[in-house]
Amino acid sequence: MVIIMLGAPASGKGSVAEILSREFHIPAISSGDIFRKYISNGSEIGKRANEYMTQGMLVPDDLTVQLITSRLKEDDVKEGLILDGFPRTVNQAKVLDDMLVKEKKKIDIVINLETPEEEILERITTRRICSNSDCKTIYNTVLHPPKVEGICDKCGSPIYQRDDDKLEKAKKRLEVYYKETAPVVDYYKNTGVLYSTVLSQSINRMKDEVAKDVIEYLKNK
């Protein structure tokens, strides 16, 4: 099974991907997490990616494609995978199509999370993440705070705010999203695999409700 997550920053891609990963026993692969891992290792690749990420810009396609290609060669994706954060440009979507053809895989669903713009900025700036790289649980200081302030419920590690989740950088990322990533939704429109769905606090439809609908849809497909 191949699942692609699309949606604005902090629209809930990672949270929905986590639920689907548990349900279907396939890994959720976050391009942002891959970059952050290279950054924390202090590698040259990480340094290059970080120059763009700290400015809220996209990492260039050549580097992004290189890292994703090598990740998709690992053993754990044989039975399927969930991509969260890739593709983020139409060019990346085309590259992914070629990669999947080579691997004899097909996209089962492209989940496009639609969240009202005003909710997005609020959600980015209130997002917090567990600092334990094996946990990475996502919190929100308003909607889903940890039981003890600053501490992960699951593993007890400190939680933190990503630098690019701060207001000015968040605004820039949103701008980039509308310009570069929104066209990817159109790219998938004629493929028959696009599943657009609202994830919004305003109608009380959050990650659990969305994931439940997706699971039912995939099981009946």
The amino acid occupying position 75 is: D
Q: With binding defined as CB under 6 A, does residue 64 bind ligand ADP? A: yes
Q: Is 13 marked active-site? A: yes
Burial 70-97 (b: 16+ CB within 10 A, else e): ebbeeeebeebbbbbbbbbbeebbebbe
Instruction: Quickly count: other Cβ atoms within 10 Å of residue 102's Cβ.
Output: 10
Helix, strand, or coil (residue 151) = strand
Residue with Cβ nearer ligand ADP (53 or 82)? 53
Out of 18, 20, 72, 86, which residue is the one contacting ligand ADP (CB under 6 A)?
86
Residue with Cβ nearer Zn ion (132 or 201)? 132
Q: Could you tell me the two tokens for 2?
A: 């191949």
Which residue is catalytic, options 162, 171, 172, 205? 162
Q: Is 71 marked active-site? A: no
Out of 45, 90, 99, 135, which residue is the one contacting Zn ion (CB under 5 A)?
135
CB 58 within 8 A of CB 85: no
Stretch that binds ligand ADP, among 7-15, 18-26, 106-114, 138-146 (CB under 6 A): 7-15
Helix, strand, or coil (residue 191) = coil
Q: Could you tell me the two tokens for 91?
A: 């060019």
Residue with Cβ nearer ligand ADP (13 or 128)? 13
Q: With binding defined as CB under 6 A, does residue 12 bind ligand ADP? A: no
Task: Give the residues lining the site for ligand ADP (CB under 6 A).
Answer: 9-10, 13, 30-32, 35, 52-53, 56-59, 64, 85-86, 88, 92, 164, 173
